[in-house]
Amino acid sequence: MKHAPPPADGQAPDRRTAAPRPPADEAQTPDAFEARLRAIGAARYHDRHPFHHRLHGGDCTPDEVRAWVINRFYYQSRIPMKDAAFMSRVESPALRREWRSRIENHDGGAPGEGGIARWLRLAEAVGLDPAYVASAHGVLPATRFAVDAYVRFVRDMPLLDAVASSLTEMFAPRIHEDRIAGLLRHYDFADDRALSYFRTRLKEAPADVAFGLAWVLDHARTRPEQDAAAAALTFKTDVLWSQLDALWAAYVEGRVPPGAWRPGEGMA
């Protein structure tokens, strides 16, 4: 028997047995809308990607871990740039005041502090030259396309869509906990210094998520606004998923694109 595929944004299929959904032009209640956003994460967040299962389960080779560290650094490096692009468009001092800690968390207050510096400690722990990783030389073209698309999305789309796109972070604490436990269990390089990025995010992310979610629930009042926010979150899950697809094709299947990092390059 053929089954219809689930709807792309992760909503429950509209069956006669399910609770009736409001007509498509009627706003959802905040609770129903929040449940819709969470369903998008449950269906589409990158914790479901086979690369993460391989990484957290101890099945990655040292070079696969290095490739992930190099490519994921590009994402990290662009997060404060997208937050600066966001803030440049915000007219409310109150919203800017809430948002600026995101940039501070990644950049720190001095050289050697902040999330970017902590990610480079992970790079060092896996044997890479941090200067090579910071250069973003050797990043996969698909990583660059996906991450740059996220920065442009936040720069160009309505503020509601931009804030909603950050809400994948609702689902990040669990993946960070799984990662800390999995890396500590399976890989010799893993210790407190190497993994400090993830431990710190566990402390920082909840405040960002609480603020971002409350802001989206408060500002997405009409059905078209709710649909736009759900589409923005769906777009962001695609940004994350496609980076892991590219990593898998290049370093698990061995189809490294021209110009991308090759094992042996950029070592300390």
Ligand X SMILES: O=C(O)c1cc(C(=O)O)c2c(n1)C(=O)C(=O)c1cc(C(=O)O)[nH]c1-2
CB of 259 to ligand X, least distance (A): 25
The residues with which 267 forms a beta bridge, in sequence order, are 128
**Among residues 169, 226, 242, 261, which is the contact residue for ligand X, using CB under 6 A?**
169
Check: CB of residue 80 under 8 Å from CB of residue 103.
yes
* Phi, psi for residue 112 in degrees, rounded to 5: 85, -5
**Among residues 65, 172, 244, 260, which is the contact residue for ligand X, using CB under 6 A?**
172
DSSP code string of 74-90: HHHHHHHHHHHHHHTT-
28 touching ligand X, by CB under 6 A: no
x/- mask, ligand X, residues 116-155, rule CB under 6 A, reads ----------------------------------------
Please work out the total of residues on this chain that contact ligand X, with binding judged by CB under 6 A.
9
CB of 3 to ligand X, least distance (A): 29
x/- mask, ligand X, residues 69-88, rule CB under 6 A, reads ----------x---------
175 touching ligand X, by CB under 6 A: yes
Q: Which residue in the block uniquely carries the two structure tokens 């078209």? A: 224
CB of 175 to ligand X, least distance (A): 5
Taking the least distance from each CB to ligand X, the nearer of 181 and 268 is 181
**Among residues 201, 220, 226, 243, which is the contact residue for ligand X, using CB under 6 A?**
201
103 touching ligand X, by CB under 6 A: no
Check: CB of residue 220 under 8 Å from CB of residue 214.
no
Which distant-in-sequence residues (6+ apart) come within 8 Å of 207 by Cβ? 101
HSE (side-chain half, CA atoms, 13 Å) at 35: 8
What is the rounded distance in angstroms from the CA atom of residue 157 to the CA atom of residue 163? 10
CB of 239 to ligand X, least distance (A): 8
User: Segment contacting ligand X (CB under 6 A): 54-62, 172-180, 186-194, 260-268?
Assistant: 172-180
Taking the least distance from each CB to ligand X, the nearer of 79 and 128 is 79
Closest-CA residue to 65 (of 258, 247, 266):
247
Which distant-in-sequence residues (6+ apart) come within 8 Å of 180 by Cβ? 195, 198, 199
Helix count and strand count (H, E) for the chain:
11, 0
- Chain residues binding ligand X by CB under 6 A are 79, 166, 168-169, 172, 175-176, 201, 240
